[in-house]
Amino acid sequence: MKTIVAMPGDGIGKTVLPEAVKVLTAVGFKADYIYADIGWEYWCKEGNALPQRTIDLLEKHKVGLFGAITSKPKDAAAKELDPSLQDKGYVYFSPIVGLRQHFNLDICIRPCKSFKGNPLNFIRRSGTGFEEPLVDTVIFRQNTEGLYSGVEWTNPPKAVREAFESHPKMKAFKDVPGEDLAISTRIVTRNACKRIIKEAFEYAREFGYSNVTICEKPNVLRETSGMMLKEAKIIVKDYPQIQLWDTNIDAQMMWLTKNPENYGVIVAENMFGDIISDGFAGLIGGLGFACSANIGKDVAVFEPTHGSAPKYQELNPSIVNPIAMILSACMMLDHIGENQKAERIKKAIAIVIEEGKFRTYDMMKLKGGPDVFAKGACTTEQMTGEIISKL
Ligand code: NAI
Ligand code: MG
């Protein structure tokens, strides 16, 4: 039997993760769930939001299902630390970023597929009326490097500044005082490029997408975006049935509303992938529907894109949409070869959405709060129950 490391985390992570487990159980997926500690509570109590015991569990069992965590700015984090740990040099860092780095979860996959009948679907004017293009785009976001590598300085040390000044373009900044100079670097490695592009093409082949788009900006970011595109042009040769397209991130954002239905798989660096995946998620219903996978060579962690939504965590019954979490669980099933079970769950979700009898508050475009039920919204558990009834 498979063992899944279940990490509910904080806030609504604690609400939606058990809902996904209910659906997994109902579809007949037999697994042991080991609940693992992660998040704010462990920062406050132990000075570490990602305890070593959780890392060890993932190391051992390889597959994690994650809810969401709460992060707060440095000062707030320091204040909430247990008094016995104060001033001992503990520094808060985000445990999900920590997981991605520790296990080198370098490929983030974010499918953005519209469900027919979802009132949040993007619609577009056509002739005298409107049309609803069905989006089915899967974003592959490089998850560990690029502009989010974390190599950055304000007032860079002398050696760094000198190294930068060996670049002719740095002349423009030579008189800027150190304290007025901030630098964030965009680091791209050829191996990571190759790996994500290859995986994107494999995914396109397995799931029947006819194109892979590299969404970068090689005309300006000649080195980093340039390397991505160059590697893609080599890799595409192994996939004669799939077209390679390339777009610039800025133009792609503009085309988001023009022809989103044309794009199959999209590959982008960390920050561009962050941007483009939120953009596409907006077309298919937003945070209540946005699922994701973080895939490394050895370990994989599946999570909804949304955070812990603290303002709703105390509401009982819960109002939040469990679908993003349940779809993340489907990605986990696909990853471990249980594709048919994943398909059954996705079909059940599709039926519930198309029937339209049960809608969480976000699907009704209501402002969140305890009064949403009176306005016709269903609870988190009712949504799960309805999905299970359609399996
Ligand atoms: P958020 O994603 O928690 O919430 C943003 C808004 O989206 C909420 O106000 C809510 O209206 C809506 N929303 C989120 N999930 C929903 C769901 N399942 N159903 C219906 N509506 C939903 O982001 P926010 O408010 O910026 O951050 C809250 C906390 O979450 C912060 O501490 C932040 O650091 C953390 N966070 C954690 C992430 C993670 O665990 N991967 C990702 C994003 C934020
Ligand atoms: Mg984001």
In the predicted structure, residue 150 carries a pLDDT above the cut 90: no
Residues 196 and 245 grouped into a single domain: yes
Residue 306 Cβ < 6 Å to ligand 1? yes
Residue 96 Cβ < 6 Å to ligand 1? yes
Report d(CA 366, CA 143) in Å as an integer.
33
Residue 324 Cβ < 6 Å to ligand 1? yes
Q: Which of 78, 112, 114 is closest to 93 using CA atoms?
A: 78
115: in domain: no
Ligand 1 site-directed mutation target among 287, 315, 366, most atoms within 8 Å of CB: 287
Burial of 342 (0-12, 13-18, 19+ CB in 10 A): buried
Residue at which a domain ends, from 283, 313, 334: 283
Residue 274 Cβ < 6 Å to ligand 1? no
Residue 113 Cβ < 6 Å to ligand 1? no
Interval 6-27 mean pLDDT: 98
CB 270 within 8 A of CB 143: yes
117: in domain: no
Which domain CATH number covers 203?
A: 3.40.50
Residues 128 and 161 grouped into a single domain: no
Residues 226 and 300 grouped into a single domain: no
CA–centroid distance, residue 13 to ligand 1 (Å): 9
CB 335 within 8 A of CB 31: no
Residue at which a domain ends, from 255, 283, 311: 283
CA–centroid distance, residue 318 to ligand 2 (Å): 24
Residues 126 and 261 grouped into a single domain: yes
Residue 328 Cβ < 6 Å to ligand 1? no
CB 312 within 8 A of CB 124: no
Per-residue model confidence as pLDDT tens digits over 261-310: 999 999 999 999 999 999 999 999 999 999 999 999 999 999 999 999 99
The range of the structural domain enclosing residue 216 comes to 122-145+189-283
361: in domain: yes
Interval 20-28 mean pLDDT: 98
Residue 368 Cβ < 6 Å to ligand 1? yes
Report the chain's mean pLDDT, rounded to a whole number. 97
In the predicted structure, residue 346 carries a pLDDT above the cut 90: yes
Report d(CA 34, CA 125) in Å as an integer.
49
CA–centroid distance, residue 305 to ligand 1 (Å): 8
220: in domain: yes
* Residue with CA closest to ligand 1 atom 43: 307
More confident residue, 181 or 128: 181
333: in domain: yes
Q: How far is CA 224 from the centre of its chain?
A: 22
Q: Within 10 A of 140 (CB to CB), how many other CB atoms are there?
A: 27
User: What is the predicted pLDDT for the residue at 139?
Assistant: 98
Q: What is the pTM of this model?
A: 0.95
CA–centroid distance, residue 158 to ligand 1 (Å): 40
Ligand 1 site-directed mutation target among 50, 105, 303, 306, most atoms within 8 Å of CB: 306
Residues 180 and 205 grouped into a single domain: no
User: What is the predicted pLDDT for the residue at 319?
Assistant: 98
Helices and strands (H, E) in the chain, number of each type: 13, 14
CA–centroid distance, residue 257 to ligand 2 (Å): 19
User: What is the predicted pLDDT for the residue at 350?
Assistant: 98
Report d(CA 110, CA 259) in Å as an integer.
19
In the predicted structure, residue 73 carries a pLDDT above the cut 90: no
| Ligand with minimal distance to 97 CA | 1
User: What is the predicted pLDDT for the residue at 74?
Assistant: 82
42: in domain: yes
Residues 279 and 347 grouped into a single domain: no
Residues 69 and 140 grouped into a single domain: no
Picking from 60-64, 146-150, 209-213, 367-371, which range would have the lowest pLDDT averaged per residue? 146-150
Residues 311 and 360 grouped into a single domain: yes
* CA atoms within a 13 Å half-sphere pointing along the CA-CB vector of 135: 32
Atom index in ligand 1 nearest the CA of residue 323 equals: 18
Residues 391 and 307 grouped into a single domain: yes
Interval 354-358 mean pLDDT: 98
User: What is the predicted pLDDT for the residue at 299?
Assistant: 98
Q: How confident is the model at residue 81 (pLDDT cuts 50, 70, 90)?
A: very high
Ligand 1 site-directed mutation target among 17, 96, 110, 308, most atoms within 8 Å of CB: 308
248: in domain: yes
Tell me how many domains the chain contains. 3
* Residue with CA closest to ligand 1 atom 36: 307
Per-residue model confidence as pLDDT tens digits over 321-340: 999 999 999 999 999 999 99
Q: Which of 35, 16, 28, 64 is closest to 326 using CA atoms?
A: 16
Which domain CATH number covers 373?
A: 3.40.718.10
Report d(CA 206, CA 319) in Å as an integer.
36
Residues 21 and 161 grouped into a single domain: no
Per-residue model confidence as pLDDT tens digits over 211-258: 999 999 999 999 999 999 999 999 999 999 999 999 999 999 999 999
Atom index in ligand 1 nearest the CA of residue 324 equals: 18
Residues 77 and 7 grouped into a single domain: yes
116: in domain: no
| Ligand with minimal distance to 14 CA | 1
Residues 141 and 31 grouped into a single domain: no
